A = this chain, B = another copy of it.
Amino acid sequence: MRATVLHKPGDIRFEERADPKILTPTDAVIRLSATCVCGSDLWPYRGVQAVTEPTPMGHEYCGIVEEVGSAVTSVKPGQFVIGSFFASDNTCPHCKAGYQTSCQHREQVGGAQAPRLRVPLADGTLVATPEVPPADLVPSLLAASDVFGTGWFAADAANVKPGMTVAVVGDGAVGLLAVLSAKQMGAERIIAMSRHTSRQKLALEYGATDIVTERGDEGVARIKDLTRGVGADAVLECVGTQESMLQAIGATRPGGFVSYVGVPHGVTLEGQNLFFSHVHLHGGPAPVRRFLPKLIELVWSRKVDPGKVFDLTLPLEQVAEGYRAMDERRAIKALLRP
């Protein structure tokens, strides 16, 4: 098959790779209905994260099971399934605690920007939809694989509850879906921090009540203004830079909650600043598996439409253009059709 490989920063190729096959009895092989480019794919694409060898790209996926290993019992060929970027057994103590991305047997899923994909630990990792979905639901189900699950975790980790004032730092797809998630969890006021008209528009559609365009200290001051000097109850940090973390912590009221769901790049937190901020801090790689049944239900019942974050759809073979469009912020997120 032909699939996506990053050779060096900026060099995305769609080239011949071996077809995936069952390697261990707990594997499944799926045929992808759709895949996409993740904001985190841009770190190595931009050279911020080292690329030491040609790397098969992609970790967001949904599709039809083609084949399962002899030990797989919970999914079967023909089913439409969704999984997350870390395969997990869903039985170890960390999985049982709801932290499947810290599974004791976790395996990173890679190479999903391809027509077919091997998924390890299929029983623990894959969740089947009630039936094969209509085509118009596929983008939203694909979003559940990572970006919606990560936005949902941002709201969950920041303890969003009905009536709260919530701020979201970052207007990428995760930030936008964090807005949607906070709305679903009952937030009364949702302040989206965004400078881009098209993203502001989607944020408002997803439930944002206020838009703040300022960043850094000015952004913090603006949130304080909007909350009578108190700060937000919860701030969802969906970027992963030093500036965005400090902005999130500074905008939160004492006793409030900060979540962070993007892999931090160049972030260090000074102990006394954090101490006197009095915030709760929680985050990490989103345990999407915990939320998948709920997210599938929300999409299946058409209560939410997270697939709207895909504002660019390309044939898989044009994946390189998907990377370019996201890198240049011409697209929020690129969906790829194999």
Contact = CB atoms under 8 A, between A and B. Distances in A.
A13 interface: no
A252 to B, nearest CB: 11
A242 B276 CA distance: 17
28 contacts: A93-B230, A93-B253, A97-B254, A102-B278, A240-B271, A242-B271, A260-B275, A263-B272, A263-B275, A264-B271, A264-B274, A267-B272, A268-B268, A268-B269, A268-B270, A268-B271, A269-B269, A269-B271, A269-B274, A275-B283, A275-B284, A276-B285, A277-B284, A278-B285, A280-B280, A280-B281, A280-B282, A281-B281
Contacts of A263: 272, 275
Interface string A282-306: 1111000000000000000000000
B268 A94 contact: no
Contacts of A274: 264, 269, 281
A94 B94 CA distance: 34
Chain A interface SS verdict (over half): mixed
Contacts of A101: 278
Contact of A282 (B229, B265, B281): B281
Interface in A54-94: 93-94
Interface residues of A, number: 40
A275 B97 CA distance: 17
A266 to B, nearest CB: 7
A130 interface: no
B279 A230 contact: no
B282 A271 contact: no
Nearest to A279: B282
A99 interface: yes
B271 A94 contact: no
Among A245, A270, A281, max chain B CB count under 10 A is at: A281
A98 interface: yes
Contacts of A283: 275
A97 B264 contact: no
Contacts of A265: 271
Among A228, A274, A276, max chain B CB count under 10 A is at: A274
Contacts of A133: none
A63 to B, nearest CB: 28
Given A97-B254, A230-B93, A253-B94, A271 B285 contact: no
A47 interface: no
Contacts of A254: 94, 97, 99, 102, 284
A255 interface: yes
